[in-house]
Amino acid sequence: MSSNKKENVKSKDRENIKKSSSKAKSAKKKKQSQAAKNTLSKAIPVFVAIILIIVVIAAFYGQKIVEKYSYGTERYDMNQYFNVESGKLSVVLDYQRIEDKAVLIDARPYISQEFVEKYFTDHFYVNLDESSVLYTTADQTIKCMIGDDFPYYLTKDKQIDLEYAPVIKKGDTLYFALDYVAIFVYMNYHIYSEPEYIKIDLEGLGCNCAVMTKDSAVRYQGGIKSPILDDVIKGERIGVIEEMEDWAKVVTSRGITGYIQIKQFEYAEEMFANIIQERPMIPLEYTDIKHDGKINMAFEQVFADPASNFGKDTENVRSVNVIAPTLYRIKDNDGTVEALPATNYVKKAHEKGMDVWVVWTDVDYEVDMKQVLGTSTKRNALISRMISEAKECGCEGINIDFERIGQESARDFVQFLRELSVETHKEGIILSVDNYALASVTKFYDRKEQGNVCDYVIIMGYDEHWASSQEAGSVASINYVERGIKETLKEVSADKVINAVPFYTRIWRTTDDGKVSSETIGMELQNNWIEQTGITLAWDNESCQKYGEKMIGGKTCQIWVEDAESLQVKLSVMDSYKLAGVAEWKLGFETPDIWEVFEQYMAGAFEKEEGAEDGGDKDAGEAQDGEQEAQE
């Protein structure tokens, strides 16, 4: 075979080999491509599933994030918030929800007598027997009748007609129209609906004011998911009660208290307060009649021939500028008065440079003061008699010494003082009233109201241990005296308070079996007894008195001495509290030497310099409260 043919054969073989190789490669590629397609077709569903899972998870957590950081729209049940009760009106008082309810009667809000006295005033005097309600101001007594048939009230000179009954009775409850109370008390109110409640403004809240920078919601608690109580708009004023980290406790103008984010408001310069009417139609404003300068008032117990007694009892008196004789006594439950002639007595007192505050007392006869003071007729008759007697004799003042007042007659007593003060102030007569030392034991005497209507409130700073006490003790230890002053000053201003000191003491005798008896003696008899018995005296720092004890006739005899030294301590304590003055019970019990101490007191010798520590030599310790109250 020729070489050319051989070359052609080889060339064809190579071409065939290439073609075969190419086909093989193509088949392999096709096979690989098909395998890839098969793999991809299998992977796509898995990939899609994974993507879907991611999307679902993202959506789930995205929703959670949105829910977490978006503001909740749920609203709080306002019937529950206001504790709505059928037939009653919930109350927001000075932006505070209270449990007490009002009622709507003929579309007007009424509140119970208990509600009035608890939140507004205890100045209304209710007499169910007379079906009347009185309100006494500085110059008159306003009266309304109880019942639907009396839509008016009476002043001192006219009848004022109303569109409603001021006071009505439903069952056992007395209801006052809120509009009637508003005649006497600083307030305004507004009634809201859905739910129905009343917002009453008295003193206001007095918190910082803020202005909303955007529309928002007041929520029940601090938190964006807390239920909504009230909506507030941009520019609305709110009161900020308390700030926390991100939230503040606030109150809206509608009286709803809740929480708002601090970033949603800005503080204003003014305070958030109620706009109260300038003054009630009938304001309660008192005036006083004052004695010139510090008072030294001496009580004189008189039973007969006052003018003659005056000369005898005042022979050695020095520095006394007011004398108070017991000239008038309540004899019975009808208010019958036993009177001693006063005109000549007053004339003699004036000649000696003393003003006269005549004493009206209930201590000498068994009298039920509820019967005497519990009706308008008897009160008016007694007051008229007092004013008439004072004008006739020319005295400067009236002193009320009613010591038989109990819980049952307390309100009548206070109303009597209110009505009497109207008449005494018309006539320019000073009105003073006597009180037991411990105000905590006789709270029903209402010293706060006495301080409002009377010119002077007198503390009877003695009888710490009564004559019938079964425990021997001082008549007026310094602790007892100072405690009486402190308690009274909680309710009455110092310039109206007079503290009375004793010119007497008691000798205490205790038998072996523990029976205690006492003998009340003045200072002269005290000194005679000490000399006769030879009893040894020593200064007692606790009582700030000289104390002596001795066995006499098989009995333990004890005495706490009242003299110039003990009185000086008491007067120093009184001056430290800047009281209006001192009084003494009673003339005729003192020894002449004590008047020098009172002269020093009146001259200001015991007054402390500005900045000096107040109080006496020994503080009236609260630890003795229970013991002393039990003794009373």
Could you tell me what percentage of the chain is helix, strand and coil, using 3-state DSSP and rounding each to the nearest 5? Answer: 35, 30, 35
Q: How far is the C-alpha of 468 from the C-alpha of 517, rounded, in Å?
A: 7
Domain total in the chain: 2
Instruction: Identify the domain boundary among 244, 272, 300.
Output: 272
Tens digit of each residue's pLDDT (9 = 90 or more) over 428-462: 999 999 999 987 778 899 999 999 999 999 999 99
Q: Show the beta-strand stretches assigned E in 523-615.
A: 537-540, 545-552, 555-560, 581-585
Instruction: Identify the domain boundary among 272, 294, 329.
Output: 272
Considering the domain boundaries, does residue 358 fall inside one? no
424: left (phi over 0), alpha (psi -120 to 50) or beta: alpha
Considering the domain boundaries, does residue 411 fall inside one? no
Enclosing domain of residue 103:
80-189
Q: How far is the C-alpha of 573 from the C-alpha of 569, rounded, in Å?
A: 6
* 28: pLDDT strictly greater than 50: yes
Q: How far is the C-alpha of 411 from the C-alpha of 406, rounded, in Å?
A: 10
Considering the domain boundaries, does residue 136 fall inside one? yes
pLDDT confidence of 408, banded at 50, 70, 90? very high
Considering the domain boundaries, does residue 563 fall inside one? no
pLDDT confidence of 539, banded at 50, 70, 90? very high
Considering the domain boundaries, does residue 513 fall inside one? no
- For residue 238, the domain's CATH number is 2.30.30.40
For the chain, what percent of residues have pLDDT higher than 90?
77
pLDDT at 626: 35
Kindly state whether residues 86 and 176 are assigned to the same domain.
yes
Kindly state whether residues 185 and 84 are assigned to the same domain.
yes
Considering the domain boundaries, does residue 515 fall inside one? no
pLDDT at 616: 43
Kindly state whether residues 158 and 217 are assigned to the same domain.
no
* 46: pLDDT strictly greater than 80: no
The SS3 call for residue 573 is: helix
pLDDT confidence of 129, banded at 50, 70, 90? very high
Considering the domain boundaries, does residue 477 fall inside one? no
Considering the domain boundaries, does residue 70 fall inside one? no
How crowded is residue 32: how many other Cβ atoms within 10 Å of its Cβ?
A: 10
Kindly state whether residues 90 and 183 are assigned to the same domain.
yes
Q: Which residue has the higher pLDDT, 346 or 56?
A: 346
Tens digit of each residue's pLDDT (9 = 90 or more) over 282-332: 888 899 999 999 999 999 999 998 988 888 899 999 999 999 999 999 999
pLDDT at 282: 87
Tens digit of each residue's pLDDT (9 = 90 or more) over 135-163: 999 999 999 999 999 999 999 999 999 99
* 392: pLDDT strictly greater than 50: yes
Instruction: Identify the domain boundary among 236, 251, 272.
Output: 272
Amino acid at 333: N
pLDDT at 388: 98
Q: How far is the C-alpha of 412 from the C-alpha of 418, rounded, in Å?
A: 10
pLDDT at 622: 37
Q: List C-alpha distances in Å: 192 to 74, 85, 195, 196.
A: 22, 15, 7, 5
Residue among 300, 445, 450, 459 nearest 369 (CA): 445
Kindly state whether residues 141 and 182 are assigned to the same domain.
yes
